[in-house]
Each structure stands twice: as structure tokens, then as C-alpha cells.
Amino acid sequence: VHGEYLAADLLIAMSATLSLRVVAECKQSRARVCELRLPHGLVDCPVFMPVGTQGTMKGLTALQLDALGCRLCLGNTYHLGMRPGPELIKKANGLHSFMNWPRNLLTDSGGFQMVSLVEFSKVTEEGVHFCSPYDGKQILLTPEKSIEIQNALGSDIIMQLDDVISSTLSGPRVEDAMLRLYILSACKILFLCFASFGCHK
């Protein structure tokens, strides 16, 4: 993406494909029923999203999932990035084609593996350093690399890499994660301000 291509331009380009419409809202609880329009069709929300960690659902085919009314499936960036790898999936025309899935896909950032594979990971300011459980290879998953992999997969919803911690943790590790989130939020607000007001500097 070129520097001159502002976020506002990107939002206009995506608006034909991406939209959220509130269908109903509860006055007491503020719970909502929504329609989410994505490149591969409408998704009614709230939604049950089956997890196809490595691009496949265990025990069901893509056609069976579709027949059951599933409109959104989740793939795991960390695992798909490891095996079979984004290059192979890109050659297969993306994850939709690779798994023969005609509906929408959400890919997570790979951040959850900081917790689920804690013995194989180390978090630094650069990103997450993983030791592959498959071959022992050292891998650095940065926020940029996570987005790059998800783009190669052709995901409909891409998640940013966040600093995931166990809910039972306390102390310095929690403080580090909260500081990263605070800095990220401040950067997001700045980015939106620049996009809204057309600032280039």
C-alpha cells in the first residue's frame, strides 16, 4: 500500500463489500442481531464460527459445513503459516480454494499460540519468537508478518497480532502486555485522526 493511499480511500473502496447492519437491538441488555456483509456473502451475527485450525474441519467436509448453514469459518495463521505454508496456499489461489470453501474465512493473528504453545514461544518488542514443534526451526512472528501471511491466505477477516496472556497470570508479564495494548490503541487513534482529517505528516 502506497503512503498516499489513505485509510479513508481504503474504507471507500471496501464499503461496497463490507458492511454491518443492525437488524434488532434489545433495549434492556443492548444485545444485537446484525448482518455482516463480507466478500463471500452475508453472515448473521451473533454467529457460531467453527474452527478449521489447519484449513480443514475434523469430521466434516466443506460441503457438509455449507449445507449446515455455516457462513464463517476460522483458520489459524500460526499453524497454516507453519504447514503447509502461505506460499503453497497462495499457489492454490488462497485458503478458500485450498479447502474448497465458498463462504467467508476469518484468520486469527497467531497470537493465541503465545499461550497455547508457551513452552515454544518468547514475546519481545519485535514480536513472538517461536520454536517450531515440527522441526525445531526458529520463527519470528511480527505484526507485519502476521498480516502478510493472512493476506497470502486470502482471508475475509484479518486479525492483528496482539499480546495474548493467560487469564491466570499476574505481575510484570501482564503489565508488559497492557503497555503494548495501550501503545497500540494510541497509535490506532492517531492513524484514524490522520485518515479523517487528511493529514499526510
The domains of the chain, with CATH numbers, are 17-185 (3.20.20.105)
H/E run at residue 138: strand 138-141
Instruction: Give the position of cell 486479525.
Output: 159
Residue 166 φ/ψ region, left for φ over 0, alpha for ψ in the -120 to 50 degree band, beta for the rest: beta
Q: Identify the segments of the chain with pLDDT beneath 70.
A: 1-16, 184, 186, 188-201
C-alpha cell at 19: 458492511
Task: Quote the pLDDT of residue 195.
Answer: 62
Task: Quote the pLDDT of residue 159.
Answer: 92
Task: Quote the pLDDT of residue 6.
Answer: 42
Integer distance in angstroms from the first to the last C-alpha of the chain? Answer: 17
Task: Quote the pLDDT of residue 8.
Answer: 46
- pTM of the full predicted structure? 0.79
Q: Cα separation of 57 and 60, whole Å?
A: 6
Task: Quote the pLDDT of residue 182.
Answer: 73
- Pair 43, 71: CB distance under 8 Å: yes
**What's the DSSP call for residue 110?**
S
Q: Could you tell me what percentage of the chain is helix, strand and coil, using 3-state DSSP and rounding each to the nearest 5?
A: 35, 20, 40
Q: How far is CA 145 from CA 5, 40, 129, 135, in A?
A: 21, 24, 12, 20
- Pair 138, 102: CB distance under 8 Å: no
pLDDT by residue (tens digit) across 4-14? 434 444 444 45
